[in-house]
């Protein structure tokens, strides 16, 4: 058994342990027949099985990449093995990453997860051109890894609350995100108190809330799928079917990239 097949098998065991089955399943509004070979999608530091379900439903094979003791020892292998990377939500990135002191409301990631994810996303961005999707904290990681900075606390700085609420987002007309959703304005859930401030090199802002908070960024590289969204689409798929679009687009991009790499070999 080659290493990829072994990883898929291990992923299946993990999925069963979570009480789910790896592979595609059907719900109303979900494609029933895949038009591509299911790609392996790495999920960093799993915090909720909703990410696994969203990737599985979109046609990918979810593989959890454990942060363990924070060691980067296996990261090179992960880069080779998985076809796409999903960076999930979580606590806050140390503001020392962009040269600021810690705000009283900032709740730092645990050290092991911080060290692992910092190395993982840096290596993924700089040493691969494979698809990357960041959600909430994952979106913030994308910006910080590109040299950007964050607003540490939206309520104290802007006088608005983005945690535990809903609000509209407005998408840029010429963005990949607009193409994915087919709409320029829609309602999202909002669970964050931090957001992008200075946009990292090679990124562009593609969505904002009505109060001006940055809600999504994507790469300026037209040939790469690299998107960060501040809301949690995986949590509202059941009530807002279009939120599945971003996972389908991500998985399909990973499948195409994986297929091209196999052909090249």
So what's the pLDDT on residue 21?
33
Q: What percent of the chain has pLDDT over 70?
A: 84
So what's the pLDDT on residue 29?
38
Tokens for 142, please give them: 């994308």
So what's the pLDDT on residue 56?
97
- How far apart, in Å, are the Cα atoms of 246 and each of 58, 114, 179, 238? 9, 26, 10, 14
172 catalytic per annotation: no
Strand 203-208 to 163-171 pairing: antiparallel
3-state secondary structure of 92: strand
8 A C-beta contact, residue 217 and residue 204: yes
**Active-site entry in 136, 193, 218, 252:** 136
Tokens for 11, please give them: 């992923």
Tokens for 149, please give them: 């900075």
3-state secondary structure of 185: strand
Of 5-19, 120-134, 216-230, 248-262, minimum mean pLDDT range: 5-19
So what's the pLDDT on residue 15?
42
3-state secondary structure of 230: coil
> Which H or E run includes 142?
helix 137-145
Is the per-residue pLDDT at 7 higher than 80? no
**Active-site entry in 57, 215, 218, 234:** 234
Counted residue by residue, the chain has a size of 265
So what's the pLDDT on residue 45?
87
**Active-site entry in 146, 162, 193, 232:** 232
So what's the pLDDT on residue 23?
34
Cα distance between residue 250 and residue 102, in whole Å: 33
So what's the pLDDT on residue 263?
61
| Higher local confidence (pLDDT), 238 or 27 | 238
So what's the pLDDT on residue 12?
43
DSSP string over 51-89: HHHHHHHTT-EEEEE--TTS--TTHHHHHHH-SEEEE--
Of 111-115, 196-200, 251-255, 261-265, minimum mean pLDDT range: 261-265
193 catalytic per annotation: no
Cα distance between residue 80 and residue 245, in whole Å: 26
Domain 3-264 CATH class label: alpha beta
So what's the pLDDT on residue 260?
62
Q: Half-sphere exposure of residue 94, counting CA atoms within 13 Å on the CB side?
A: 11
Cα distance between residue 86 and residue 44, in whole Å: 6
The full set of domain ranges for the chain reads 3-264
pLDDT tens, position by position, 129-170: 999 999 999 999 999 999 999 999 999 999 999 999 999 999
Give the model's confidence band at 261: pLDDT under 50 very low, under 70 low, under 90 confident, else very high.
low
> Which H or E run includes 9?
helix 3-17
Sequence-distant (≥ 6) Cβ neighbours of residue 142 within 8 angstroms: 87, 121, 125, 132, 134, 200, 203, 217, 226, 228
136 catalytic per annotation: yes
Q: Which residues of 151-171 are buried (b: 16+ CB within 10 A; e: fewer)?
A: bbbbeeeeeeebeeeebebeb
Q: What is the mean pLDDT of residues 92-104?
A: 98
pLDDT tens, position by position, 64-95: 998 888 888 899 999 999 999 999 999 999 99
pLDDT tens, position by position, 166-206: 999 999 999 999 999 999 999 999 999 999 999 999 999 99
8 A C-beta contact, residue 67 and residue 117: yes
């Amino acid at each position: 058994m080659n290493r990829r097949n072994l990883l898929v098998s291990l992923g299946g065991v993990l999925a069963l342990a979570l009480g789910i089955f790896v592979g595609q399943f059907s719900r109303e509004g979900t494609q029933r027949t895949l038009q591509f070979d299911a790609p392996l999608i790495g999920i960093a530091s799993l915090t909720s099985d909703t990410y696994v379900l969203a990737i599985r439903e979109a046609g990918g094979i979810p593989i959890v990449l454990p942060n363990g003791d924070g060691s980067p020892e296996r990261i090179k292998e992960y880069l080779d093995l998985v076809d796409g990377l999903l960076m999930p939500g979580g606590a806050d990135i140390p503001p020392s990453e962009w040269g600021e002191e810690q705000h009283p409301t900032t709740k730092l990631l645990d050290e092991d997860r911080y060290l692992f994810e910092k190395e993982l996303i840096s290596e993924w961005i700089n040493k691969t051109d494979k698809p990357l999707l960041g959600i909430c904290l994952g979106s913030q990681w994308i910006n910080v890894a590109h040299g950007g900075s964050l607003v540490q606390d939206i309520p104290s700085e802007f006088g608005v609350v983005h945690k535990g609420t809903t609000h509209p987002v407005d998408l840029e007309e010429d963005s990949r995100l607009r193409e994915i959703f087919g709409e320029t304005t829609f309602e999202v859930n909002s669970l964050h108190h931090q957001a992008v401030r200075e946009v990292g090199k090679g990124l562009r802002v593609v969505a904002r809330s009505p109060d001006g908070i940055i809600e999504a960024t994507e790469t300026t590289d037209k040939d790469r799928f690299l998107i960060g969204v501040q809301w949690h689409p995986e949590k509202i798929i059941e009530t807002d079917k279009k939120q599945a679009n971003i996972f389908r687009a991500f998985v399909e991009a990973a499948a195409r990239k994986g297929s091209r790499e196999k052909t090249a070999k």
